[in-house]
Amino acid sequence: MESLSPESIGHRWVLDKGECSLLGVFGDDKMIADTARVSYRKGTKQTSTDKQLIRYLVRNKHTSPLEHATLRFYIKAPLFVIQQLLRHRTFKFNQSSARYSEMLNEAYVPLPEHITTQDAKNKQARTEDKISEAQYVASHMAGESDNSFENYQHYLKEGVARELARINVPHGTYSELIVTCDLHNLLHFLALRLNPHAQYEIRVYAEAMLDMIKGFFPATIEAWEDCSLKSFTATGTMQEALSLAISHVQSGIDWSEAVSVAADSTGWVSKSEKDQFIGWALTLKA
């Protein structure tokens, strides 16, 4: 398969036929630190290193200096992934138009190992359990999208305008776009889309993007990984439960039981919050 990407400073193949390229970067860690320092000009000494200052900014969510860095990507992805991407409203997009030009006659077909069952608990997710007929479903899906593109070509040959001939192409059809965004909002996007609850098919794009930008903002990315990706936000109620659990441990109970007892004696609005607290608290066992 030949890449459709324009000249780039980073390139990754994604999914079966997708691509993600880093086309340009404007700014670096130093620019971010220098932008923050404009606040302090007179009357304060510059004592912190760039790395410390950036950690401070990211940890305290003083993220305005990160907005001054700009990144430019080329992305080839299925339409349903692009629809999720378009929800990020600070991004700038230019997408190939199915009115102006013929669509790529390529659709996403999942590998059998990715065709897994619906998660019964987390209603928006899928499990890791392969369905029994995965091989058959994968080839059936491939045949279905092939048929759709034959029909698309057929409609075009009948003279149907492009904007109308495309109405039955699969929602997994690949399309291309240029995305330009600032670093603050890109990291917000990545935090959402790297999350295990994000759909696998967009998560792999987020992983490719993070991988390509890491080297350009080492201090910022490191701070963000610790202060955002690995962070946990405890609600007021969770902090009460945590206090309780600590006091139980002091009375000699084991941590797992302390967490469980504390959770049971705390008033929660919903069971999901209690479960989230317990899940997190148990990771604190050294």
Active site residues: 193
For position 207 contacting its own copies by CB under 8 A, the verdict is no
The long-range contacts involving 100-103, CB below 8 angstroms and separated by at least 24 positions, are 100/162, 101/162, 102/156, 102/162, 103/152, 103/166, 103/169, 103/173, 103/175
- Residue 244 sits in the site that holds its own copies (CB under 8 A): yes
> Hey, which residues between 210 and 239 contact its own copies (CB under 8 A)?
223, 225-227, 229-237, 239
Measured CA distances, 260 to 255, 275, 280 (Å): 9, 10, 12
**Size (the chain), residues:** 286
Does 1 bind its own copies (CB under 8 A)? Our answer is no
Residue 14's nearest CA partner among 134, 91, 108 is: 108
Looking at 13, 17, 93, 260, which residue binds its own copies (CB under 8 A)?
A: 93
Query: Under the criterion CB under 8 A, does residue 16 sit at the interface with its own copies?
Result: no
Site string for its own copies, 145-184 (x = CB under 8 A): x--x--x---x--xxxxxxx-xxxxxxxx--xxx-x-x--
**What's the chain's Rg over C-alpha atoms?**
24
Q: What's the token pair of residue 155?
A: 């409609």
Q: Of 13, 16, 17, 68, which one interacts with its own copies (CB under 8 A)?
A: 68
Q: Which of 1, 2, 43, 196 binds its own copies (CB under 8 A)?
A: 43
56 touches its own copies (CB under 8 A)? yes
Does 194 contact its own copies by CB under 8 A? no
8 A C-beta contact, residue 242 and residue 262: yes
Distance of CA 61 to the CA centre of its chain: 19
| Residue 10 beta carbon to its own copies: minimum distance, rounded to whole angstroms | 16
- Minimum CB separation of residue 208 from its own copies in Å reads 19
- Do 200 and 124 touch, CB atoms closer than 8 A? no
264 near its own copies, rule: CB under 8 A: no
Sort residue 145 into left (φ over 0), alpha (ψ -120 to 50) or beta.
Answer: alpha
**In angstroms, what is the minimal distance from the CB of 33 to its own copies?**
11
> Interface with its own copies includes 90 (CB under 8 A)?
yes
Residue 261 lies near its own copies (rule: CB under 8 A): no
**42 near its own copies (CB under 8 A):** yes
Give the side-chain half-sphere CA count within 13 A for 170: 22
Does 205 participate in binding its own copies (rule CB under 8 A)? Answer: no
- Residue 242 C-alpha from the chain's centroid: 30
Residue 11 makes contact with its own copies by CB under 8 A: no
Closest separation between CB of residue 194 and its own copies, Å? 14
Q: Taking every pair of C-alpha atoms in the chain, what is the biggest distance, in angstroms?
A: 81
Site size with its own copies, rule: CB under 8 A:
127
